[in-house]
Amino acid sequence: MPRRVAVTGVGLVTPVGVGTEETWRALLRGDCGIGPITRFDAASFSTRFAGEVKGFDPTRWISAREAKAAMADSFVQYAMAAGAMAMEDAGLVLEGALAERAGCFVGSGMGGVSTIEATCQALHAKGPRHGISPFFVTQIAISLAAGQLSIRHNARGPCYSQVSACSSGAHAIGDGLRVIQRGDADVMLCGGTEAVVTPLGVGGFAAMHALSTRNDAPALASRPFDLERDGFVLAEGAGILVLEELERARRRGARIYAECKGYAANADAHHITAPAVAGEGAQRCMRAALADAQLDGSEIDYVNAHGTSTKMNDAVETFAIKQVFGAHARRLMVSSTKSMTGHLIGAAGSVEGALCVLAVARGQVPPTINYTTPDPDCDLDYVPNIARDAKLRNALSNSFGFGGTNACLIFGRHEG
């Protein structure tokens, strides 16, 4: 029998708040973290807004020297902050034998984009001898988010990074679940981080015509499942969970938020950006996660949807949910927190997985804001505009990424 896995720590850095409680309270209020871009002059861009992390001071978690050198890129800084929050929340210190039984998986879609941009400019201005920092490679490598967290917290077990576009953070959590289930570790720090609100990040997604262009009303731009949606909103941040073998967590008297009950990953094998016809890959992934959790669809009460606010994704995901859950789909609460945070790319799945954990633990479901005009192709209960109190048994988090990569996670209430 696979070992059972608990969630004992949560750390969040998002556009609506730096901190888990700050983020959770903001989402329940329906706050929007999307606004005009301040990171760079976006006047010439077709999309001039994003979900930026605001008020972030990296020296709360790392030294000023580290923030200027080895951990200069924000994607690592966000991971370090969220990881420290999660470990403090779990009340864990990794030492002795436990350090050998603890690992770290942190995914990202794009890594150190801002450092690459800045280094290219310095290279052209100063040449290779003076324009490239000796820290350049270790600042941009996606694996260094997990590596730096491992070093900081003395996690000496499995350590690597999942790179699977918008599913990266969810894959990291799912892979961490598997490592504990099979007995290769007892504790895993898992999640995703991203910092792509940069000229290349915004410009690249804009060139694909993937982003909303509602520049006159940024706070209204991310509107999943609404008839008037016109694209997603790029965002940044990190979400890290502490996963722990359930009996170990019980023995030490840990607070258990929820159990990580099920996970599945697959591929559409269809198109680099468009979902498979009728959401066939998403359907298979959701069904596989249910089977892994040994749950019937009727036992799921809430779905945190991938819900990007694009025409195709939202309609296809809605159809896939209806196919998987049948008549029960009408009783499901389905919300997209991207309406408030924007799309955190590689961190999206871990942040949204963490929100499922909190929803199960606290009996509250965050809303889908900006839902004003129903779309006939999107006809489920999207928890429109106002958070809802609800005692949840199990919650499903969907993550679907470019390249046709899919990940589904299921978190359930811990009964003591």
| Residues with active-site annotation | 166, 306, 343
Output the six-digit token pair for 101: 């039984």
Q: In this structure, are residues 131 and 158 in contact, taking their beta carbons and an 8 Å threshold?
A: no
Distance CA 412, CA 22 (A): 23
Identify any residues that bridge with 105 across adjacent strands, giving them in sequence order: 160, 190
Q: Name every residue whose Cβ is closer than 8 Å to that of residue 215 and which is 6 or more positions away in sequence.
A: 47, 48, 49
Q: In this structure, are residues 269 and 115 in contact, taking their beta carbons and an 8 Å threshold?
A: no
> Percent helix, strand and coil across the chain, each rounded to 5?
40, 20, 35
Burial 228-251 (b: 16+ CB within 10 A, else e): ebebbbbbbbbbbbbbbbbebbee
Q: Which of 295, 321, 21, 285 is nearest to 174 (CA)?
A: 285
Q: Which of 40, 22, 77 is nearest to 340 (CA)?
A: 22
Distance CA 57, CA 393 (A): 37
**Strand, helix or coil at 76?**
helix
**Strand, helix or coil at 235?**
strand
Distance CA 401, CA 407 (A): 9
